[in-house]
Amino acid sequence: MYHPGMRSKPLLLPDSGPLLGTGYLALWLLLQTTAQPYWTLPFGLRFAALLLAPMRYWVWFLGAELAAAAGIGLIHGLPPGWSSPALHEMPGFVAMMGCMWLLRRLNLHASLRSPQEVTRLLLSVLLVVTTTTAVDAALLALLHSPSSPELMVRAIAEELLSHYLAILIVAPVLIMLLHTRMEKAALIRLFMDGLLVLVPSMAILLVLSVRAAPQPQFARVLSLAPVLFFAFRHGWRGASLAMLITSLGMTLVDWHLGHTPSTAAAYLFLAVAGTGALMLGSATDALRRSSKRVAEQNVYLGAVNRRLDQLAHQLRDAARGNLQADENQRRHLAAELHDELGQNITAIQTHVKLAQARLREAGMEDVSTSINNILGHMRRALHRLLDDLRPAVLDEFGLFRALDEGPIRDLLTSAGMRYRTALHGDPRLLDDDTRTAIYRLVQESATNTVKHAHAGEFGLRLRIGERNGAALAVLDLRDDGSGLPNRLPRGGRGLQGMRDRVTSLGGQFRLRPDHSGVHLRILLRSNRGTAGRPQQN
């Protein structure tokens, strides 16, 4: 975003009727000196003044224009009356005031920021020009009987074209000066392009215009190329300035060379090209604003995505910390149970063995047998609990042997299921959390299969490798059982627990739809390799 000091401030209209009227009078007299059959810039000044100024000052504009017209009439020696230029100007001005009052009540704004606003303004210009021309034509028919209808139609067409072209040239420039801000860098670029493009174009126009026809017509058509260039490069502001300078250049060249004024066809082409250039410039501005907004939104979304990535990393780190804390707690609890409860069971068995001879003498041998059976059952239950808390086989034999030969195979075999394994890679590439997670995932999946699947086979496929400096583990688990129900039972934590464990490690968990059974595909990444750590496969 640009600093406000880097933008040019629009000119401010003085909040004074007399000052506005005086300024309007000065501009009107200045532009009146350039008036030609197709070049009546004071009409464009009138439209712009009624569009930009508050309505309470309109009467000052009317008074200024009437005074200027009356003064011109006196200079030319015309007597006051219906033939006075002042009275000729009043009906058209009043008609334009009525149209502009209605259009401003209908929310017409002095803005060219978008093609829709340009279209609305140009339609308003057509309405105003048509209305004022109709009023002037009626007044002309009332005061002067036309010699022929053809001359009347020609005069009306000439006035329509000159008024429309005057508004097209003057109004956008005043809107730019009084209602818009431009960046100073854009102003500098506009000035430099004016020197590099418009000045050579005017020189070419002058050179070609001194020659006989048809070169002058070709020169006028060629002079419109800078208008399109400025429309593309500088939007509607550049198009309006280029239109003004090009039109002024055409008029000055004709005046300097003593040519007759350009034909209606040339100015009609200028009006059509100017309208298209203004539409093209506003569309270019709208496209640039849209592109700028998209770029700003992309920057904002990029920042949001980076923040979301940071939060995701924080959540994964927190989840990994929770898993580590859970595993540490399990390890501690398993050690305490093994040391305390296991030793106590061993002590009880020792005491029962020592007391077995006395119990036999007392005829209570069956009591010692029952106690030994209960203690054996307790020891087996303790081993299963210790394996659930912290699989000792994982620490003793390593990941591959723990998966291939450990309690998971015993669980599936005792359930009458075939257990197929395919293990590839080096587990030492993985950190301890990832190895533990893999064992837990296989253990949970096998337990779910035994409990719910009614399967005859359980398959495990594990591949471990490296990519881009990170260790990857691809785990594929499947069975040939009955598959998942359409609606999972409430309270089931198996699959969700597995998914949470994978997500906490930054992995991917996919439940693949197969024709039968359950098929899980899991990808885990280990950023901290442990190559060189002694571990058995």
- CATH assignment of 1-180? 1.10.1760
Query: What local confidence, expressed as pLDDT, does residue 153 receive?
Result: 80
Does the structure show a pLDDT above 90 at 368?
A: no
Query: What local confidence, expressed as pLDDT, does residue 214 receive?
Result: 47
pTM: 0.61
Q: Which single residue is written with the structure tokens 């569009």?
A: 51
Can you spell out the DSSP letters for 101-117?
HHHHHTT--S--SSHHH
Are the C-beta atoms of residues 181 and 8 closer than 8 Å to each other? yes
Query: What local confidence, expressed as pLDDT, does residue 212 receive?
Result: 47
Average pLDDT score over residue span 461-472: 89
- Residue-wise pLDDT tens digits, 136-183: 888 777 766 666 677 778 878 888 888 999 999 999 999 888 887 777
User: How many Å is the Cα radius of gyration of the chain?
Assistant: 46
Q: What is the chain's length?
A: 537
Q: What percent of the chain has pLDDT over 90?
A: 21
Query: What local confidence, expressed as pLDDT, does residue 262 receive?
Result: 56
Higher pLDDT, 506 or 339: 506
In this prediction, residue 333 has a pLDDT band, given cuts at 50, 70 and 90, of confident
Query: CA-to-CA distance for 352 and 378, rounded, in angstroms?
Result: 15
Beta bridge partners of 460: 421, 477
- CATH assignment of 396-526? 3.30.565.10
Closest CA to 187 of 176, 197, 178: 176
Does the structure show a pLDDT above 90 at 126?
A: yes
Query: What local confidence, expressed as pLDDT, does residue 494 receive?
Result: 73
- Residue-wise pLDDT tens digits, 296-329: 999 999 999 999 988 888 887 777 777 777 777 7
List the domain boundaries for the chain.
1-180, 396-526
Q: Which single residue is written with the structure tokens 């950023």?
A: 527
Residues in Cβ contact with 50 at an 8 Å cutoff, skipping those fewer than 6 apart: 58, 61, 96, 97, 100
Average pLDDT score over residue span 238-259: 73
Query: What local confidence, expressed as pLDDT, does residue 84 receive?
Result: 56
